[in-house]
Amino acid sequence: MSNLPFTIDQLKILKAIVLEGSFKRAADSLYISQPAISLQIQNLEKQLDTPVFDRNHRKAKLTETGELLLRYGLRILALCEETCRALEDIQTLQGGKLIVGASQTTGTYLMPRLIGLFRQQYPQVAVELQVHSTRRISWSVANGQIDIAIIGGEIPFELKEVLHVTPYAEDELALILPTSHPFAKLTNIKKEDLYRLRFIALDTQSTIRKVIEQVLNKHGIDSSRFIIEMELNSIEAIKNAVQSGLGAAFVSVSAITKELELGILHQSKIEDVIIKRMLSIIVNPNRYRSKAAEIFNQEILTLFLQPIE
């Protein structure tokens, strides 16, 4: 098709307007004037011979044509970015950018270590880390916005045929208590003792909380009987709450290494129960993978991390 009714710049502007919610904010984000933005949209509508935005709304609201153009436009822009990265990468690993993703706990406590080791060997590669929920990270990998990710939960069912999942390492989830708690003096605590504790927990949608509940239920422990003192949305907040004597909690062993070394938290063993989850590496085999991503994948599988004890 020789004469397209839109340009790449117009698609970028359309995307910016939708993301920012207004022509003015879009102009600011693109570092161009608002009249220039308006002119580009007017030209686009003239080329399409139909409105892209509904002028009856105060906010930038797309028409049906605008919605269609945006949907395909985002795919076009993603492919353009992918093409540029492939062209930059075609010769050597002398530069380029690697975008890695991770779910919350993995991204906070494990991934910085892996990236640090990678950067020691390949300082010329710029690395960007994105930390979100497992679901959001999985979709970003599927859409080509993230090269490679390490997650601790299940990927969305609809992406199981899209993403390639490689088991990576086991992550133990530990029961932690304040050092002043009476149970901290015991070598092991019994399953029934869990019902006497007051817990600081992540919210019910948390991947780690779901894993913990599944494993406990397999061992005949009814997590619905737990006394939940409070729910917090960060591991650091939970650790501080436990340290302050507000309750017990389950967290990844990788998140409490320093606290255990300093003796400010106590890790309790539950009789005949070990809670572990599998960390997995996910990639989209149908997307272009840079040399940096391939080397990062290879290194973390063979060198950087031994299975978590």
* CATH number, residue 124: 3.40.190.10
Residue 3 in domain: no
Q: Provide mean pLDDT across the span 183-208.
A: 89
Domain count, the chain: 3
Sheet strands (E) in the chain: 97-102, 126-131, 148-151, 164-177, 188-189, 198-202, 227-232, 249-252, 266-270, 276-283
Of all residues in the chain, the percent with pLDDT exceeding 90 is 47
d(CA 230, CA 220): 24
How many angstroms from the chain centroid is the CA of residue 163?
A: 15
Residue 208 in domain: yes
DSSP state letter for 106: I
Q: What is the pLDDT of residue 4?
A: 86
**Enclosing domain of residue 57:** 8-89
Which residue from 135, 272, 270 is spatially nearest to 206, judged by alpha carbons?
Answer: 135
What is the CA angle 86-89-94, rounded to 5? 160
d(CA 128, CA 115): 9
| Residue 175 in this model has a pLDDT that exceeds 90 | yes
Q: What is the pLDDT of residue 154?
A: 85
d(CA 165, CA 194): 34
Same domain, 73 and 38: yes
Please name the residues in contact with 138: beta carbons below 8 A apart, sequence gap of 6 or more: 149, 151, 155, 156, 159, 163, 282
| Residue 212 in this model has a pLDDT that exceeds 80 | yes
Residue 101 in domain: yes
Residue 309 in domain: no
Q: Provide mean pLDDT across the span 109-121.
A: 88
d(CA 154, CA 205): 13
